[in-house]
Amino acid sequence: MAGVGFELKRLFAQRGLLAGLRAYGVSGAVCAGPMLLGVLMQLGLQLLCQLFGRSALERQLTVCMITYSLLASLLITSVLSMVVTRFLADMLFEERPAAVMPSFWGSTGLLLAAGGTLYGVFLCFSGAGALHGFLCWTLFGELVVVWNAMSYLTAIKDYRGILQSFACAAAVALCLAAAGLALGLPTVAAVLAAVCTGYGVMLVWDVALLTRCFPAGEGSAFVFLQWCDEGWPLALTGLFTNLGLFGHLVLMWLGPWQLRVQGAFVGAPAYDVPSLLAFLTILVTTVNFVVSVEVNFYPKYRSYYALFNDGGSIGDILQAGQEMLAVLKSELWYTGLKQLFATGLAVALGGVLLTRLPLGMTDPMLGYFRVLCVGYGLYAVGNTAMLLLLYFTDYRGAMACTGLFAGSAAVFTALSLFGSEAYFGFGFLLGAALFCLAAVLRLDWYTRRLPYFLLSRQPVAAEDKAGRFARLAKKLHETLEVDPPWNQL
């Protein structure tokens, strides 16, 4: 979250209620903006389709195609998101901003090439049709660029520009969809084209922010691949996290509540809608994590590591370590309490509020919503502990915890499909509970032995860490005739 902390510290240093609200608003916009944008667009588009009297089948097909594109883009970008974030942090620390933009274009190109091919093959056999398939493929490509850009945008301090890109993209998509539906254009094509245009605006805006913040750059666009040799657990951590979050949805699409809309496009609206609404309850922890870490924990963390780097005395190191861990435990405890309060509020008031909205909520759907609220709440706390593991460079621990999350959530959800429908959602809840428990226990175990991991596990002599990914990067440089700055690495 490079850059975010400086702005938040300045805002929280100001006294008054408005300053505090503004600080939380900044962190919420940066962290939760894309998620809120997608949710608001989906709900707004559905309301527009109902307003113009479009059929339920057309609405369901639109939702399926947008959802498939969203999930596919999130899955493919999750493989590199944490790796490029690590690379970006290192480049900023080493004061090498010229390496940032080439890595953005290189990582984006790789993701588009691999993901575009795979998703294109799926669309060819999905029964989407030429026009709908092209629009889905275009939307997927735009989303890949947007999600990858979000890994870099956390280094930008122009939060007003980020907010404007979110708002403009949503406004453009909704206005164009309303215009297309009013003109009597085919529902699916009109809405997909509007969404493509909206995310296209966001793509251009975000890339413009990046190019304005960072120099054009020089040298290799694939140097970041070297970070995969040592940071490959980061790639799996990102992948496992997304599989755990969304895998239970895909499994439910194959269950008894499956609704086959067209070809390979299927869904389970009775489960998808409660899941989407329950997912929103983790916004509390998402925002609180950034505020707690950047404002309270990170200064202690930086002071502790600075004593190791600058030759601090043993007494000072021990004192700084105790202070850092005390703040860590306090912030993690308060994060859990805040999420518990948000989850309890959602469970208590959800039934009253959701039945008043035009979402078609039934009693079973309200039951799934309550179960999934608890599951996502546990996930949020576990994810906070996992991200703190990444702060301490416990990449393997984070990978193991997220792997447990993805595997257990999938297994328990699959087993629930053979039982009563009353237990749907409990598979994800159990997987999230195991994830939360494993991440918290791992964080406690690792931080108790932190001096050992900082000192005793470091190599005594310099090592050549160039591996298969470094060789792949070099081959890509040579193939594309790019001047690789290997002598600078």
pLDDT digits (tens, 9 = 90+) for 216-237: 777 678 888 887 877 789 889 9
Residue 179 has pLDDT above 80, yes or no: yes
The per-residue pLDDT for range 22-69, each reduced to its tens digit, is 666 666 655 565 566 667 777 888 888 888 888 888 888 998 999 899
The pair of structure tokens assigned to 104 is 């953005």
Residue 486 has pLDDT above 50, yes or no: no
Under DSSP, the state recorded for 419 is S
Average of pLDDT values for 448-466? 70
Residue 463 has pLDDT above 60, yes or no: no
How far apart, in whole angstroms, are the C-alpha atoms of residue 425 and residue 258? 15
The pair of structure tokens assigned to 300 is 């202690």
DSSP three-state, residue 69: helix
Q: What is the pLDDT of residue 131?
A: 93
Of the two residues 384 and 13, the one the predictor is more confident about is: 384
Q: What is the pLDDT of residue 5?
A: 46
Largest distance between two CA atoms of the chain? 75
Q: What is the pTM of this model?
A: 0.85
How far apart, in whole angstroms, are the C-alpha atoms of residue 378 and residue 340? 9
Residue 360 has pLDDT above 50, yes or no: yes
Average of pLDDT values for 189-210? 90
Residue 482 has pLDDT above 60, yes or no: no
Q: What is the pLDDT of residue 254?
A: 85
Cβ contacts of residue 43 below 8 Å, gap of 6+? none
Q: What is the pLDDT of residue 488?
A: 43
DSSP three-state, residue 267: strand
Average of pLDDT values for 108-130? 92
Average of pLDDT values for 85-110? 85
Of the segments 16-20, 29-33, 348-352, 370-374, which one has the largest average pLDDT value?
Answer: 370-374
Residue 484 has pLDDT above 50, yes or no: no
Residues 369, 422, 269: CA angle, nearest 5 degrees: 50
DSSP bridge pairs for 266: 260
How far apart, in whole angstroms, are the C-alpha atoms of residue 59 and residue 53? 10
Computed over every residue of the chain, the mean pLDDT equals 82
| One-letter identity of residue 318 | L
**Rounded-to-5 percentages of helix, strand, coil across the chain:** 80, 0, 15
The per-residue pLDDT for range 397-429, each reduced to its tens digit, is 999 999 999 999 999 999 999 888 888 889 999
Q: How confident is the model at residue 305 (pLDDT cuts 50, 70, 90)?
A: confident
The per-residue pLDDT for range 147-156, each reduced to its tens digit, is 888 888 765 5
Q: What is the pLDDT of residue 31?
A: 58
> DSSP labels for 426-467?
HHHHHHHHHHHHHHHHHHHHHHHTHHHHHHTTS-SS------
Residue 462 has pLDDT above 60, yes or no: no
Of the two residues 356 and 391, the one the predictor is more confident about is: 391
How far apart, in whole angstroms, are the C-alpha atoms of residue 176 and residue 185? 11
Cα distances (angstroms) measured from residue 446 to each of 64, 319, 407: 42, 18, 23
Q: Exposed, middle or buried: residue 268 (CB in 10 Å: 0-12, 13-18, 19+)?
A: buried
Q: What is the pLDDT of residue 481?
A: 52
Give the lowest-confidence range in 131-140, 235-244, 356-365. Answer: 356-365
Element (H, E) at 132: helix 130-153
